[in-house]
Chains A and B, each alone.
Chain A
């Protein structure tokens, strides 16, 4: 069952002679529960694609269909709500609020959505505990390692129970071991918790945790590979 579909998705920056086509009529389908990595050389359009899927930017042409409905016609407010409830985001630099502790950071999306503090906190604690941070609920970001901070960020991405998690170079700021842990965590988000995960990465070892890799070059999809080899019947 398709969760995300892009149709002729195009993003052009600038105009006339200096126009740059970051994405060139991209057609992509991602089914519910898939863990997809998007890879490609610098400037291939992978971050642009992720931002358009997440409604963080609007396309020049084409459209994004999320859960059967195009996101194009939505107002900024409606888009913001969609992002808060149906999508979770994980960024390279964690983007945690320094003055809030782990539980407060993780609870933020549902707090902002008007949930009662106790309900928000319960959700945050549930996800933080699943991710091995049950003893660090009151720690502030500066008291946590990079890997732990990113785990808080992944918990935050899930508190609203979204169908989709978007990750933009989630291990870019982490060492080898912490990076593997986050990649493994994102895989469990997909396999154990049934969410769809779309991850932009340039790290081969991290991409290998996905089910499928979509390769971009010069704004186009040049290949789409399933990573599990089919067993010979």
Chain B
């Protein structure tokens, strides 16, 4: 979603060559090291935007590949861009591997939960340290995109660490009471009983 709208935004600023668009997009996201967008993806996205009527070619050089074509945004494209700016972004909640690991350990009894939590905690702190050190080395005037991305990583890491703390507390409580076994539902047709005959009689009235 975001590659599409970033391209619309850049074209809304002024029409661009395919080559220029690629470079401008790279500058928006703070460099190729952070987010590896292949040139093919830019051109594929441009094709789809053209098909959707959001972008059009404004001039073509003879024998030009996509790099040399000049693209411009359409009115429909501007409207789509504005709608994107006007709406919030729904966060995606994923069931992550740490969650699955903890539940596997909890149900199977195959590993100590406290140990899993502490191992994950140590790793996250190393990641947090690395991200903080990296971020503090950037120049806010020249490298704002990198700083914003790292701030985001840092806040996510903090959230993950706080989740581990809460989880540890909850699991400490759970240790004091056993987890219920899941209910096994009976298979096959229910046996006939006196009471079920009464039910079918009453339902005829």
- Is A14 an interface position by the 8 A CB rule? no
Taking CB atoms, residues of chain A closer than 8 Å to B136 are: 184
Q: Which of A205, A209, A215 meets B118, CB within 8 Å?
A: A215
- Asked if B121 and A208 make an inter-chain contact with CB atoms under 8 angstroms apart, the answer reads no
Select the stretch in A15-23, A59-67, A104-112, A224-232 that faces chain B: A224-232
Q: Report the tally of A-B residue pairs with Cβ distances under 8 A.
A: 43
- Is B161 an interface position by the 8 A CB rule? yes
- Asked if A204 and B132 make an inter-chain contact with CB atoms under 8 angstroms apart, the answer reads no
Q: How far is the CA of A215 from the CA of B161 in the complex (A)?
A: 13
Taking CB atoms, residues of chain B closer than 8 Å to A228 are: 126, 129
Q: Is the interface of A mostly helix, strand, loop or mixed?
A: mixed
Q: Which of A41, A184, A222, A227 meets B125, CB within 8 Å?
A: A227
Q: Which of B125, B131, B158 meets A225, CB within 8 Å?
A: B125
- Asked if A204 and B122 make an inter-chain contact with CB atoms under 8 angstroms apart, the answer reads no
How many interface residues does B have (CB within 8 Å)?
Answer: 21
A179 to chain B, nearest CB (A): 12
- Asked if A204 and B128 make an inter-chain contact with CB atoms under 8 angstroms apart, the answer reads yes
Closest-by-CB residue of A relative to B169 is A41
B180 to chain A, nearest CB (A): 27
Task: Give 13 new A-B contacts, CB below 8 A, not counting A205-B158, A210-B129, A225-B122.
Answer: A41-B165, A204-B128, A204-B157, A205-B128, A208-B129, A208-B132, A213-B125, A215-B118, A225-B125, A225-B126, A227-B126, A227-B129, A229-B130
A interface vs B, CB < 8 Å? 41, 184, 204-205, 207-210, 213, 215, 222-223, 225, 227-229
B interface vs A, CB < 8 Å? 114, 118, 121-122, 124-126, 128-132, 136, 154, 157-158, 161-162, 165, 168-169
23 A-B contact pairs sorted by A residue (CB < 8 Å): A41-B165, A41-B168, A184-B136, A204-B128, A204-B158, A204-B161, A204-B162, A205-B154, A205-B158, A207-B125, A208-B128, A209-B129, A215-B121, A222-B114, A222-B118, A223-B118, A225-B122, A225-B125, A225-B126, A227-B129, A228-B126, A228-B129, A229-B130
